[in-house]
Chain A
Amino acid sequence: KQEVTQIPAALSVPEGENLVLNCSFTDSAIYNLQWFRQDPGKGLTSLLLIQSSQREQTSGRLNASLDKSSGRSTLYIAASQPGDSATYLCAVRETSYDKVIFGPGTSLSVIP
């Protein structure tokens, strides 16, 4: 059974710092991995999606990497801003038709 974990559960950093969020999954046979952002009480905003054949994806200050063999992904946020404060969720999909399996999230707070 696929399980997704995220470390740390919460993170507080001063504005301007670069930071890394970690995601681990137990079964390396995934179809894709996706990072989401969730503001309090709101829905999910997709940040980056990495297909199983890819190693990384970049969007602006965000870079996500995928190492299927080790069952790990990292989300790198450069030059953090207070507006980056949110919960970041990692999720995997095992087939193109399958459900999305989420981790518990990392709550990020960027202090001005």
Chain B
Amino acid sequence: DAGVTQSPTHLIKTRGQQVTLRCSPKSGHDTVSWYQQALGQGPQFIFQYYEEEERQRGNFPDRFSGHQFPNYSSELNVNALLLGDSALYLCASSPTGAEQYFGPGTRLTVT
């Protein structure tokens, strides 16, 4: 059984561009959460998706949006990229109400 997978592994974008990150949850997991981890800091919660709806949201601007598909996979979209958006973006999946399992992350660099 594959764990949580994320793509791409690394990404370089220019300030002002838009980016889409993808996450495939573990088999049987219906909840997907996204976190942003800046260098030297702990991960910060962005939002959580369940049954294709955003269930919770952290303190992130509307430039950050997401989507969950019927197969439970998810996308994170960031518009109008800023230099400060450079970070490791982590996806976590879980069965409803259970322990979260984290993917390897996508390293986004904004230049």
Interface residues of A (CB under 8 A from B): 4, 32, 34, 36, 41-46, 49, 89, 91, 96-105
- Residues in B neighbouring A98, C-beta threshold 8 A: 56
Interface size on B, residues (CB 8 A): 27
Q: Could you say which of B11-19, B71-79, B93-101 contacts chain A?
A: B93-101
| A99 in contact with B45 (CB, 8 Å) | yes
CA distance A36 to B48 in the complex (A): 20
Q: Given A89-B42, A98-B56, do A43 and B33 touch, yes or no (CB 8 Å)?
A: no
Q: Give chain A nearest CB distance to B18 CB in angstroms.
A: 24
CA distance A45 to B42 in the complex (A): 14
| A42 in contact with B104 (CB, 8 Å) | yes
CA distance A101 to B58 in the complex (A): 10
Contacting residue for A100 out of B41, B92, B107, CB 8 A: B92
- Is there a chain A Cβ closer than 8 Å to B63's Cβ? no
CA distance A104 to B103 in the complex (A): 19
| B101 in contact with A100 (CB, 8 Å) | no
